[in-house]
A and B are shown apart, each in its own frame.
Chain A
Amino acid sequence: MRIKVKSRITVFILSFITYFIITQIGKFDWQELVVGIVISFITAIVAGDILIMEKRKFKFSRIFYTICYIVRLLWEIIKANFHVAYLVIHPNLPIKPGIVKIKTNLKTDAGLTMLANSITLTPGTMTVDINKEKGEMYIHWIDVKTTDVDEATEAIGGRFEKIIKEIFE
């Protein structure tokens, strides 16, 4: 019960900040402010209870790990883009695609989603499907180096799994 209330308050604040940035900057107007509060309230009542699902304690080290994660993710995205540009310009298309399977230890929905999104944005890999009960992910790899499950886990998921575990669990 209490988690749902917390989730609704978070949704209210986020949607009100978005509304404020879209309409209010540069010209301040009371009428639009009131309309924004009403609309954010309706949004929070109708669809607000699915943003936060698990109860977590606040830890100070989580902020530090989040900053590390963002820096690491930006670096990997830049590397991924140069990798794709090299592949596309090369006349012979040096690709060796395949779908491999990796294991993961994450349990929560938010952690799994962030791991899948990170894998999609990093060089040469893309998440195809997740099997949540067994903790397995199917990855499309544009340049397959190994088909073994453990080695592929080390090569693909090992970059992010520890740091996401610190943030989301």
Chain B
Amino acid sequence: MSNIIGYILICIGLAFDFFGVLGLVRLPDVYNRLQAATKCVTFGTAGILAGVFVMEGYSVMGLKPIICLIFILLTAPVSAHVISRAAHRAKIKLADETIVDKYEEDKELLDKEDN
């Protein structure tokens, strides 16, 4: 029974991994790619690790994925935030569909405060 639940979780996780990677290929600029890829791939990998935990139970192989899962859920948003901030400061352009960019308007002000 736990085997079946584990396989179902692993299948869901792989499906969302695949959607996230598809978003990385299809969407138009860095920020949108980062959104799709970070959310979907983090959730998908968390699903795979939870599936491994359900299949193995409380053993050596069962508890290591839990540490891995907590670590990934804590660090993936941080790395997305760091990359997007660095990309905006390195003046990488947003896509043509973009409507509004408040950060660009306030950027002069922010740079002055830094120095």
- Spell out A's residues near B (CB within 8 Å): 18, 21-22, 25-26, 77-78, 80-81, 84-85, 87-89, 93, 95-101, 116-117, 120-121, 124-129, 131, 133, 138, 140, 142, 144, 147
- Per the bound structure, the CA–CA distance linking A97 and B101 in Å amounts to 9
Q: Is the interface of B mostly helix, strand, loop or mixed?
A: helix
> A25 to B59, Cβ gap below 8 A?
yes
**B97 interface contact, C-beta 8 A:** yes
- Per the bound structure, the CA–CA distance linking A56 and B42 in Å amounts to 32
A-side contacts of B78, CB under 8 Å: 117
A-side contacts of B32, CB under 8 Å: 95, 97, 142
Q: Which residue of B lies closest to A113 (CB)?
A: B78
Q: Is the interface of A mostly helix, strand, loop or mixed?
A: mixed
- Spell out B's residues near A (CB within 8 Å): 16, 19-20, 22-23, 26-29, 31-32, 34-36, 38-40, 42-43, 59-60, 63-64, 67, 74, 77-78, 80-81, 84-85, 88, 94-95, 97-104, 106, 110, 113
Q: Which of B19, B39, B99, B110 contacts A147 (CB 8 A)?
A: B99
> B97 to A96, Cβ gap below 8 A?
yes
Given contacts A21-B67, A81-B39, A126-B81, 11 further A-B contacts (CB under 8 A): A77-B43, A81-B43, A85-B19, A88-B26, A95-B28, A96-B99, A98-B101, A99-B103, A116-B81, A117-B74, A128-B31
A-side contacts of B27, CB under 8 Å: 87-88, 93, 95
Most chain A CB within a 10 A radius of its CB, from B19, B38, B59, B102: B102
**How many contacting A-B pairs (Cβ < 8 A)?**
126
Knowing A22-B67, A120-B80 touch, does A99 contact B97 (C-beta < 8 A)? no
Q: Which residue of A lies closest to B12 (CB)?
A: A81
A-side contacts of B40, CB under 8 Å: 81, 84-85
- Per the bound structure, the CA–CA distance linking A23 and B51 in Å amounts to 22
> B35 to A84, Cβ gap below 8 A?
yes
Q: Shortest beta-carbon distance, A65 to chain B, in Å?
A: 19
> B19 to A99, Cβ gap below 8 A?
no
- Per the bound structure, the CA–CA distance linking A1 and B98 in Å amounts to 49
A-side contacts of B38, CB under 8 Å: 120, 126
